[in-house]
Structure 1
Amino acid sequence: MDTIDQNLRAIRSLMERSTRFTSISGISGVLAGAYALAGAWAAEVYFLPAGAKGAMVFTALLILSLALLTAGLLSYRNARRHGERINSRPVRLLLSSLGLPLLAGGVFTLLLLEQGYLGLLSGSMLAFYGLALINASKYTAAYIKKLGVLQTALGLMAVAWPAHSLLLWSLGFGWLHIGFGFYVHWKHEP
């Protein structure tokens, strides 16, 4: 019976590796959260009081770029350690499932900014990001879906309570990433 269980686990593991990318870096989540908290602090202290929309957009793009670069590099390193190929079908599916909702959310957010709906920016960023995570979760670890649901819920709360949108944005992009990053690192990384 032990041999049957081991064989079934081996088959399941092989099938999962062929359809899912599981080398997501927990440390990249922690760093992405730290980048977001630093950006939220800069927005609160410098940009919002001065009404500097351009500086806020630049900071948001910088945070996004740093987070994506960090996630890409550290996940690539993890993939090499685990013998996964970074140019595989699961990675392509993951990136396309994540990328389309993120792109749509980015365009939507820029349109909100252009139209002057500043109170909806944080909520729309969180909601679209959460939906992108939910959409991409079928090609990666199951906890990504949970993170997506929490991000989407925070996004809806930020739209409902725009006076607290920066706080909710910090909670979602900052603290949730840090918490999930530590969880992933502790649970799945050596």
Structure 2
Amino acid sequence: MNQKHQEDLLHIRSMMERSSRFISLSGLSGVFAGLSALIGGLYAYQLLEKNGINYFEAKSVSISSSLVSELFWTGIVIFIFALLFGILFTVRKSKKYNLPIWTSTTKNMLLNLCIPLVAGGIFCLALIFHQMYVIIAPATLLFYGLALVNAEKYTFSDIKYLGYCQLVLGSIAAFYLGYGLFFWILGFGVLHILYGLMMFKKYK
């Protein structure tokens, strides 16, 4: 009898977890998003080198508007690929485990995720407008970290640890502006891959 009660409680707990948290996120989404960021970050570094700019040298450099435009669209492409991989693996996991995708929990998670991201995106556009390029990398890490921590209550709690790491990296990068690209690759690339592998192993 006690075993039956325990099984019932576990079933109820599982149902409550499914109804209150978005659990269709796949660890593979993080892995492929990280790979996209790694490739994009290395491409951005090659672009800078091609234009005679050593990003890791602690000195002021002049960046042409065409290079800024190319770097901007590189970031957009990285974002699109990361988003597509996220949608692909989320849909795949939802179908595999027969989980609903578009629920009130999903809407709440996206809302809490998007508010800091949209604010951060506008702030970064202002930085580009004022030609304050060296602050963009720390800003993206900080706003992304805030978004993850903000969305944690509607999905896996593990995601907040990724958010904390992004906040730490962004804070450090703010004091080492000449190394922003390095921290950006570390945060969006390496940390995403490590987090994705951990999530895949834990929730596969």
The TM-score bracket by the shorter chain reads over 0.9
CA deviation string 1:35-80 (max 9, x = no partner): 1011111111113652311111000010001101110121011112
> Residue 150 of structure 2 aligns to which amino acid in structure 1?
N
- CA separation of 1:182 and 1:127: change in aligned 2, threshold 3 A: same
Match of 1:39 in 2: 40
- Distance between the aligned counterparts of 2:115 and 2:70, measured in 1? 26
Match of 1:113 in 2: 128
- Distance between the aligned counterparts of 1:132 and 1:48, measured in 2? 32
Contact 1:47/1:53 (<8 A) preserved? no
- Distance between the aligned counterparts of 2:178 and 2:19, measured in 1? 45
CA deviation string 1:98-139 (max 9, x = no partner): 111111111111111111111110000000001000001100
> Residue 62 of structure 1 aligns to which amino acid in structure 2?
V
SS in 2 for 1:160: coil
User: TM-score, normalised on structure 1?
Assistant: 0.95
RMSD between superposed Cα atoms in Å: 1.2
Match of 1:54 in 2: 69
Identity %, equivalent residues: 38
Question: Which ranges in structure 1 are unaligned for 5 or more consecutive residues?
Answer: none
- Distance between the aligned counterparts of 1:5 and 1:80, measured in 2? 28
Is structure 2 residue 92 aligned with structure 1 residue 77? yes
- Distance between the aligned counterparts of 2:198 and 2:42, measured in 1? 24
Larger Rg: 2
- CA separation of 1:181 and 1:124: change in aligned 2, threshold 3 A: same
- What are the residue-to-residue correspondences of 1:145-160 with 2, within 5 Å? 145-160=160-175
Match of 1:179 in 2: 194
> Residue 8 of structure 1 aligns to which amino acid in structure 2?
L
Match of 1:28 in 2: 29
Moved beyond 3 Å, runs of 4+: none
> Residue 179 of structure 2 aligns to which amino acid in structure 1?
H
Question: Which ranges in structure 2 are unaligned for 5 or more consecutive residues?
Answer: 52-62
Match of 1:137 in 2: 152
Contact 1:47/1:56 (<8 A) preserved? no
User: TM-score, normalised on structure 2?
Assistant: 0.89
- Distance between the aligned counterparts of 2:170 and 2:30, measured in 1? 19
Is structure 2 residue 80 aligned with structure 1 residue 65? yes
- Distance between the aligned counterparts of 1:99 and 1:73, measured in 2? 19
Contact 2:141/2:166 (<8 A) preserved? yes
- Distance between the aligned counterparts of 2:174 and 2:7, measured in 1? 49
- Distance between the aligned counterparts of 1:48 and 1:66, measured in 2? 24
- Distance between the aligned counterparts of 1:2 and 1:151, measured in 2? 43
